[in-house]
Amino acid sequence: EPEVTQTPSHQVTQMGQEVILRCVPISNHLYFYWYRQILGQKVEFLVSFYNNEISEKSEIFDDQFSVERPDGSNFTLKIRSTKLEDSAMYFCATDLSSYGYTFGSGTRLTVV
Amino acid sequence: KQEVTQIPAALSVPEGENLVLNCSFTDSAIYNLQWFRQDPGKGLTSLLLIQSSQREQTSGRLNASLDKSSGRSTLYIAASQPGDSATYLCAVSGYNNDMRFGAGTRLTVKP
């Protein structure tokens, strides 16, 4: 069964550093998303991406965050100048039109 | 803004029981609703997807229903097993492609 692959599975970074989280979507999927889950809290929508541009973003997705699809296969989330409160599980999801999301297994980001 | 609520927050049942998990949402203008399973520290596994035009979906021992007008969905698990122990998340998608999640129901099935 096709999978969404996320790397790394765990990333530890110092406060103020930049991190890039990577996702390889399912090959024929058209819609790409990032979500995050702070420990013990709800899964929260960050951003959706379609046709090489952001289609929707939440209030969480401020100037600290950016997404891109640099090479037509990877889908990345960059967090500039990380803060302690950015520590969370970050999930990538992809979707082929209305067939429902497929989530990756997540990247656990720990900011120290 | 769409708000998704799941009741109960936690549920503990003996093996073999049938159970119902509830999900409610505030904005009935949804595109679809999806139920996920999440094991501790792990990702999200899709269980069932119901399009807004559908009333229910079934997969094995799982049955999910959707009443869009009243903003409710239920997930029915038949003959529960210890392996069903996990957190079950309900999520609704709007027409703008963002998905809103409930806080989940943490299910424990005791042998």
Tens of pLDDT, residues B25-50: 999 999 999 999 999 888 899 999 99
Structure tokens at B26: 């505030």
In sequence order, which residues have a C-beta less than 8 Å from that of residue B27 and are 6 or more positions away? B1, B2, B71, B94
Q: Compute the average pLDDT of residues B43-60.
A: 93
Span B68-84, pLDDT tens digits = 999 999 999 999 999 99
The phi-psi region of residue B97 (left if phi > 0; otherwise alpha if psi is between -120 and 50; otherwise beta) is left
* Closest residue by Cα to residue A23 from A86, A64, A65, A78: A78
Averaged pLDDT of chain B: 94
Across the interface, do A103 and B45 touch by the CB < 8 Å criterion? Answer: yes
Reported as a pLDDT band with limits 50, 70 and 90, residue B89 is very high
Which of A44, A98, A105 has its CB closest to that of B42?
Answer: A105
Per-residue confidence (pLDDT) for residue A28, from 0 to 100: 81
CB contacts of A56 in chain B (<8 Å) are 96-98
Q: A90 — contact with chain B (CB < 8 Å)?
A: no
Q: Give the closest residue to A3 by CA, choosing from A93, A74, A68, A76.
A: A93
The predicted-structure confidence for A11-23, as pLDDT tens digits, reads as follows 999 999 999 999 9
List CB contacts (< 8 A) between B42 and chain A: 105-106
**Contacting residues of B for A104, CB less than 8 Å apart:** 43
Q: How far apart are CA A68 and CA A70, in angstroms?
A: 6
- Average per-residue pLDDT for chain A: 91
pLDDT at A71: 80
For the segment A28-70, what is each residue's pLDDT rounded down to a tens digit? 888 899 999 999 899 999 999 988 899 989 999 999 999 998 8
| pLDDT tens by residue, A72-81 | 789 999 999 9
The pair of structure tokens assigned to A29 is 């999927």
b/e burial code for range A31-44 (CB count within 10 A of at least 16 → b)? bbbbbbbeeeebbb
Let me know: does B105 contact B93? Beta carbons within 8 Å. Answer: no
